[in-house]
């Protein structure tokens, strides 16, 4: 089954490179929470401090990516405390 076409809300085309930036509608942001609280996910090499820690995404505009990460983390940590939360509205903080 193919993915449905997204609704384009706004578009701008660079006349030099002919690349287009499109603003697409979505239902919200899906985030992975742990034990009911928002998280960050950091990957650290225990042998070497080079190149330093890497932070991975834990929020997505596509729910499938969040669900896959949630399943992976629950399996890795042998728990069921990772959940996916839909963020559909919130408090405006900028500007």
**Where in the chain are the domains?**
28-87
Whole-number pLDDT of residue 50: 83
Tokens of 63: 């729910």
Q: Rounded to whole angstroms, what are the CA distances from 52 to 40, 46, 73?
A: 16, 10, 22
Distance between CA 95 and CA 76 in Å, rounded?
39
Buried-state track 53-79, b at ≥16 Cβ within 10 A, e below 16: eeeeebbbeeeeebeebbeebbeeeee
Per-residue pLDDT band at 4 (split at 50, 70, 90):
confident
Alpha helices in the chain (DSSP H): 63-76
pLDDT in tens, 27-86: 899 999 999 999 999 999 888 888 889 999 999 998 999 999 999 999 999 999 999 999
The shares of helix, strand and coil residues in the chain, as percent rounded to the nearest 5, are 15, 35, 50
């Amino acid at each position: 089954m193919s993915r449905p076409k997204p609704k384009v809300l706004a578009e701008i085309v660079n006349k030099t490179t002919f690349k287009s930036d499109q603003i697409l509608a979505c239902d919200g942001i899906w985030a992975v929470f742990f034990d009911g609280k928002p998280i960050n996910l950091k990957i650290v090499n225990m042998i070497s401090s080079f190149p330093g820690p890497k932070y991975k995404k834990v929020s997505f505009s596509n729910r499938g990516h969040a669900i896959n990460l949630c399943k992976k983390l629950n399996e890795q940590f042998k728990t069921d405390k990772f959940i996916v939360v839909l963020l559909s509205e919130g408090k405006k903080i900028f500007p």
